[in-house]
Amino acid sequence: MKITSNKKPPIRGIIFDWERGLDPWHRDAFPDHLRDQAPNQSSNRETGWFGIDWAGNAIVFVPDKTEWT
């Protein structure tokens, strides 16, 4: 089993590259008038890895401490 961290991104697979960032689904990432509709309402905004496709688009977010095999 492997665990992500700020220095260890998830595996590559279909992902072209990985970039560090903050949870895009956390309420703090939303404009004030939409914060109550954000999917992640927790108090702490997590850091993690954005999976980047061949065109440079972020297509997935994987928080730190995520386990994979």
Taking the domains of the chain in order of start, what are their residue ranges? 2-68
Q: Give the per-residue pLDDT at 19.
A: 96
Percent of the chain predicted with pLDDT > 90:
70
User: In this structure, which amino acid lies at residue 28?
Assistant: D
pLDDT digits (tens, 9 = 90+) for 12-32: 677 899 999 999 999 999 999
**3 or 69, greater pLDDT:** 3
Q: Give the per-residue pLDDT at 59.
A: 93
Task: Please enumerate in sequence order all residues whose Cβ is within 8 A of that of 42, keeping only pairs 6 or more positions apart, or say none.
Answer: 26
**7 or 23, greater pLDDT:** 23
Tell me the two tokens of residue 64. 């730190």
Provide the β-strand partners of residue 2. Answer: 68
Task: Please enumerate in sequence order all residues whose Cβ is within 8 A of that of 41, keeping only pairs 6 or more positions apart, or say none.
Answer: 27
User: In this structure, which amino acid lies at residue 60?
Assistant: V
When pLDDT is averaged across residues 58-68 and rounded to a whole number, the result is 91
Cβ 26 vs Cβ 45: under 8 Å: yes
